[in-house]
Amino acid sequence: MTQPDHALYVQRVLDLYRSAPDTRGRCRTADRRLAADLNQRGVPLTIVRAALILAAARRRARSPAAHPLAPVASLHYFLPVIEELLADPPDPVYIDLLSSRLKAAAVATPPRVHRAS
Contact 16, 38 (CB under 8 A): no
Q: How many domains does the chain have?
A: 1
Q: How far apart (Å, rounded) are the C-alpha atoms in residues 43 and 23?
A: 21
Does residue 46 lie in a domain region? yes
Does residue 117 lie in a domain region? no
Q: Running DSSP on this structure, what letter comes out for residue 70?
A: P
Q: What is the pLDDT of residues 31-86, one digit of tens each?
A: 999 999 999 999 999 999 999 999 999 998 888 899 989 999 999 999 999 999 99
Does residue 49 lie in a domain region? yes
Question: In terms of residue numbers, what domain contains 48?
Answer: 3-63+70-108
Does residue 29 lie in a domain region? yes
Span 78-104, average pLDDT: 95
Q: How far apart (Å, rounded) are the C-alpha atoms in residues 68 and 65?
A: 8
Does residue 27 lie in a domain region? yes
Does residue 114 lie in a domain region? no
Flag whether the pTM goes above 0.75. yes
